Each structure stands twice: as structure tokens, then as C-alpha cells.
Amino acid sequence: MRQSLVVGNWKMNGSIQSNQSLLEALKAGMSTVKNSEVAVCPPFIYLQQVSEILKDTAIGWGGQTLSEQDSGAFTGEVSANMLLDFHSKYVIVGHSERRSLYAESDQLVAEKFAKAQAAGLIPILCVGELLEQREAGETENVVKRQLDAVVNSQGIAALSNSVIAYEPVWAIGTGKTASPAQAQDVHAFIRQQIAAQDVNVAEKVQILYGGSVKANNAAELFAMQDIDGGLIGGASLQAEDFLTICQAG
């Protein structure tokens, strides 16, 4: 039985004041979350604040991306060790917004994954197809290519210390959610791909669904056999909604 995990991706949202009230409300509501691990990924600049408010709670935190470099002349970048300085547990790699808006290639995503893992962070590897790729029947090929970029460079065992998030790009921030059956099909496909190389890793790895998960659809998505929780954007900014989603895990 895999542990359910719900991660909030705040994207470029928040302020010192709004973070404080959101996190205090989450802390207060955590006693209602029985089955899920919970984490939030704020903008880097708020990691100190988040780590102070959440220390000694069951809620973890992490970055939304990281540099594939260790240190040096890389203006604007943040390294794995910097995330660890603030006791981050997780880091998202290969989010579709990073892939599309910041031209992150499969290879770069694999390098970031490797850097995160080598430092002791748990990478949350995002994969998912564009609408036109789904319509062209390319979903499985796209997801396999994105997964293979990591597996071929890091080996299948690397996935056992990671989380995978299936996020169909057409569902992210659009209010269009994949149906539970659509999501389950792709999650099962991902698990089969991994099982073809290592059954134990396939059984163990958490595969989250992301893409317009809301308080009113989380339970039916998370009830599917191969969906082990969610990566939540917009709804993670509202304490009540996020807690309802966490309760569904």
C-alpha cells in the first residue's frame, strides 16, 4: 500500500502576509488529514518563512525547480544545497511551465533530477502531454519519452527515491480535469513502463495526478488504483480547499 501524498505548488503566488495566514490555517487543519503526507512548494524567497512556520509540523516543503549546477556564476539560479539549507524535502522538476516557458529539455530535466537526488532531495518529476499530442494519440509516447530521459541516464532504481507527477498540460490551470479513467490509464501505463524494468520500484513509486484538482473532484481521482495523491496548483492557495483535497488522499 503506497502512502498518499498531496503537494501544493504555489507557483509565483504569495506574500509574507498571505503565506502566514495560509500556513497557520493549514497547520490548524492538519488534524483532519488522516491518510496523506502533505507538502508545499512556495517561491524560493519564502522558503525561510515557510520553514520557520512549518518546523515541527507534519507538513513538508520544497522548491519548484532547482539548478543543474552546484554553484558559481549562474545569475538567478538556486542550487540543491540552498534548498537543503532551508530543510526542503522535495523539489519539483520538469513542471510543464518550466518545460514550455523556460525551454527545459528532457535532458536538462534529467540533469536537475540527478542533482536533486544526489543532494538528498526527493525530486517530483512532472510528465504530461499537450492537448494536440493527446488528440494525435501521442500521450503514451510523450510520457514514455519524458520518463526514459531520466531512467536512461539515472537507472530505474533512481525512481524509487522519487515521486512522479502525471500532469496533462491541457488540464493545468484550465479548470479541465482529466477524468478519473483518463488519468488512471496514464498512471497505469507509467507504472507498467517502470515494472517492465523493476517490479519493486513500480510498486513503490508514488504517482501523483496534477491538473485542476479541486476540492470537489479530488476524492474520485485519488480513489483510482494507480493515483497516489496530487500535485495541486491553484487550489493549494486556499486553505480550506487544499485541506479538503488532502483529506481525500
Residues making contact with ligand PEP (CB under 6 A): 9, 11, 167, 172-173, 210-213, 231-235
Active site residue 135: no
Please state the closest distance from residue 197 (CB atom) to ligand PEP, in A.
Answer: 26
The residue number with the shortest CB distance to ligand PEP is: 233
Backbone phi and psi for residue 207, each to the nearest 5 degrees, phi listed first: -115, 110
Question: Whole-number minimum distance, CB 25 to ligand PEP, in Å?
Answer: 19
Give the DSSP per-residue string, 93-127: ES-HHHHHHS---HHHHHHHHHHHHHHT-EEEEEE
Identify the active-site residue in 68, 104, 167, 187: 167
* C-alpha torsion angle, residues 69, 75, 80, 82 (rounded to 10): 140
Q: Which is nearer to ligand PEP, 80 or 237 (CB)?
A: 237
Tell me whether residue 9 or residue 88 sits nearer to ligand PEP (CB atom): 9
Of residues 27, 32, 36, the one with CA closest to residue 7: 36
CA separation for the pair 124, 238 (Å, rounded):
22
Nearest to ligand PEP of 61, 201 (CB atom): 61
- Candidates 57, 61, 21; CA nearest to 41 is 61
Q: Which residue has the cell 478519473?
A: 180
Q: Is 95 a catalytic residue?
A: yes
Q: Which of 68, 95, 104, 129 is catalytic?
A: 95
The minimum distance between CB 171 and ligand PEP, in angstroms, equals 6
Which CB sits closer to ligand PEP, 11 or 89?
Answer: 11
Q: In 3D, which of 186, 181, 148, 149 has the Cα closest to residue 167?
A: 186
User: Nearest distance from residue 157's CB to ligand PEP, in Å?
Assistant: 26
Would you name the residues annotated as active-site residues? 95, 167
